[in-house]
Amino acid sequence: MPRILVINNYPFEDVWEEVKRKEKPDHHIYGINYFHLRGYEVEIIPFVHNHFLHQIDKFFQKNGGVISFGCLDQQWQTIKKLNQADLIYAPCQTQTQLLSYLRALKIIQVPIVCLAHHPLNRGRLALIRDPWIKLSIQGYDAYPSLSSRVSSAINQLSGCQEKSVLTRWGPDSNYYLEKVALGKGVVAAGRTGRDFDTFGLAASQTNSEATIICLDNSVSQTFQRFSENVSIMTQPTDKYMKYPELIKFYQQARALAIPMVSGSSLAGLTSLMDSLAMGKPTIMTRHPLIDIDIEAEGIGIWVEPGDIEGWRSAIQFIEDNPQQAAEMGKRARNLVDSGLNSYSFANQIMDIFDLLLEKQKKDKKV
């Protein structure tokens, strides 16, 4: 049975336990719960093991730098287990750079699969980082991505059109099975990259109920200008609302809103997964990295960044057209039931594993 070592940027073992207890949908663990179905054994590398290395990691995360080495703590744990492993899987792109450098230099023989979420090289030091980014890409045997644009950029940097492929991430189709009524109002929830200011000002100009669920530090002075139809629920940074409670708000809503401040990362994609699985129409800031075209699929409405009038119009449309909103929601859930789900995603990842391990077998024979 091939053994997969898994490295992630949050405590994966904890999230897997939450999934087992039905406290969180399984797409948050990026396929690992399905790997056994095709004969793969999974070992999750603990998020924190060596506290000294963990403190060094925190220092580098805070202070940045030209060269990224990823998570030293997890990678050192992985290196010590390489003799017992057949492949390394990193569902997050921020943790395994040191391993990729060593793999590129042929010091490590175990294949590495890393899942890209966001563009690899951003910020003012991008030009200086470029050689290290290319070396890192060389060290990954496969670098699939959740975004076709990111995938294309990886292939361009690597000079290999097969280095990265689009893997279509989908939600846990079984977690949201309870049928819900059409609901009323719009809910906007999220922790990263949200433009709640624009959403709240727009919703204030409608006769629709609107609810914002956000972190304490997301509240700005603009919130004071929201009308009474906009409810605000703030959460502590370290105790954001758990899924079972969040789902209740989603069930009661007519549509889910995903207002974003930037399209430079895939922030917002997780909320879109919730919207699809809940069978709710989506109003979302137009996002260049997301491959699901919610308007082309007939499941939602795009709004341009910072467009208050666009948001107002979209929210009011959902409020005034309940039948069309219901049809949007039905089409959204149909996407999930017809294959855009976490099980299908896991099989895409395992197809990559199969190809790499078969190639490695052939190379050893030669």
Can you tell me whether residue 45 is helix, strand or coil?
Answer: coil
Shared fold status for 3-170+341-365 and 186-337 = yes
Cα Rg, the chain, nearest whole Å: 21
pLDDT at 359: 87
325 — pLDDT class (breaks 50, 70, 90): very high
| 3-170+341-365: in CATH 3.40.1580.10 | no
The pTM (predicted TM-score) of the whole model is 0.94
pLDDT at 318: 98
Domain ranges in the chain are 3-170+341-365, 186-337
50 — pLDDT class (breaks 50, 70, 90): confident
124 — pLDDT class (breaks 50, 70, 90): low
State the average pLDDT over residues 336-347: 98
65 — pLDDT class (breaks 50, 70, 90): low
pLDDT at 259: 98
pLDDT at 79: 96
pLDDT at 148: 97
Q: Read out DSSP for 66-108?
A: SS----HHHHHHHHTTGGG-SEEEESSTTS-HHHHHHHHTTS-
Q: For residue 364, is pLDDT > 90?
A: no
What pLDDT, in 10s, does the model give residues 248-296?
A: 999 999 999 999 997 778 999 999 999 999 999 999 999 999 999 999 9
DSSP tally for the chain: helices H, then strands E: 12, 10
State the average pLDDT over residues 143-156: 97
Using a pLDDT cut of 90, give the percent of the chain over it. 83
Look up residue 135 and give its two tokens: 């070396």
Can you tell me whether residue 212 is helix, strand or coil?
Answer: strand
Using a pLDDT cut of 70, give the percent of the chain over it. 97
Q: For residue 38, is pLDDT > 90?
A: yes
Burial state string for 158-174 with b = 16 or more CB within 10 A and e = fewer than 16: beeeebbbbbebbbbbe
From the list 128, 101, 127, the residue with the least C-alpha distance to 114 is 101
What pLDDT, in 10s, does the model give residues 66-101?
A: 788 999 999 999 999 999 999 999 999 999 999 999
- When the pLDDT of each residue in the chain is averaged and rounded to a whole number, the result is 93
pLDDT at 177: 74
pLDDT at 89: 98
pLDDT at 358: 94
Q: For residue 52, is pLDDT > 80?
A: yes
User: Considering only the top CATH level, what class is 186-337?
Assistant: alpha beta
Choice between 237 and 104, residue whose per-residue pLDDT is larger: 104
366 — pLDDT class (breaks 50, 70, 90): low
pLDDT at 123: 65
Q: Are 13 and 330 in contact (CB under 8 A)?
A: no
Q: Are 189 and 249 in contact (CB under 8 A)?
A: yes
pLDDT at 232: 97
Q: For residue 365, is pLDDT > 80?
A: no
Choice between 141 and 120, residue whose per-residue pLDDT is larger: 141
State the average pLDDT over residues 50-57: 81
Q: For residue 143, is pLDDT > 80?
A: yes
Lowest mean pLDDT across 60-69, 232-241, 281-290: 60-69
Can you tell me whether residue 210 is helix, strand or coil?
Answer: strand
What pLDDT, in 10s, does the model give residues 301-315?
A: 999 999 999 999 999
Burial state string for 267-294 with b = 16 or more CB within 10 A and e = fewer than 16: bbbbbbbbbbbbbbbbbbbbbebbbbeb
Q: For residue 222, is pLDDT > 90?
A: yes
